[in-house]
């Protein structure tokens, strides 16, 4: 497996691990029979963790497809790997800023993550100009 493919796995783990601590820390109020109970997520940090989790689910498909498409179309693997690592780092920072209630920085990181994913997606298109 390539580093980029491991980053796809890491991005899944990131959005799963975004919500797990909130459920664990609120175990007394969390009802596993009703894991999506909106009342549990009304608390500020819980609501933000849920938002970061949901956004991770939304960001994942484009990132995964971009990586697989770039690899399938034989874009430079070192660039796919480097951009994928950068994506996971940016998304990790995004989660921290979301949970930490830093909306302006969070929006910047979201945009940066999207640009990184788009760059991976378009690597096959520009590979002839990269000389890598």
43-84 confidence digits (pLDDT tens): 888 899 999 999 999 999 999 999 999 999 989 999 999 999
The ranges assigned to domains in the chain are 3-26+40-130
Residue 127, Cβ neighbours under 10 Å: how many? 16
Query: Minimal CA–CA distance to 49: which of 91, 20, 78, 72?
Result: 20
The confidence score (pLDDT) of residue 132 equals: 59
pLDDT digits (tens, 9 = 90+) for 77-131: 999 999 999 999 999 999 999 999 999 999 999 999 999 999 999 999 887 776 6
Please identify, in words, the CATH class of the domain defined by 3-26+40-130: mainly alpha
Q: Give phi and psi for 16, each to the nearest 5.
A: -70, -40
CA distance 78 to 87: 14
Does residue 1 sit in helix, strand or coil? coil
Query: Minimal CA–CA distance to 10: which of 76, 64, 71?
Result: 64
- The reply to whether the predicted model has a pTM over 0.95 is no
Query: Minimal CA–CA distance to 67: which of 1, 5, 113?
Result: 5
pLDDT digits (tens, 9 = 90+) for 30-41: 777 887 778 788
């Amino acid at each position: 497996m390539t580093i980029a493919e491991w980053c796809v796995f890491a991005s899944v783990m990131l959005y799963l691990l975004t919500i797990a601590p909130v459920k664990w820390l609120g175990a007394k109020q969390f009802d596993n029979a009703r894991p999506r109970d909106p009342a549990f997520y009304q608390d500020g940090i819980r609501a933000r963790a849920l938002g970061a989790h949901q956004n991770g689910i939304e960001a994942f498909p484009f990132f995964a497809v971009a990586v697989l498409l770039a690899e399938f179309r034989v874009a430079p693997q070192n660039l796919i790997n480097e951009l994928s690592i950068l994506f996971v780092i940016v998304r990790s920072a995004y989660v921290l800023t979301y949970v930490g209630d830093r909306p302006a920085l969070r929006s910047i990181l979201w945009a940066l993550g999207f640009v990184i994913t788009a760059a991976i997606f378009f690597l096959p298109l520009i590979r002839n100009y990269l000389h890598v």
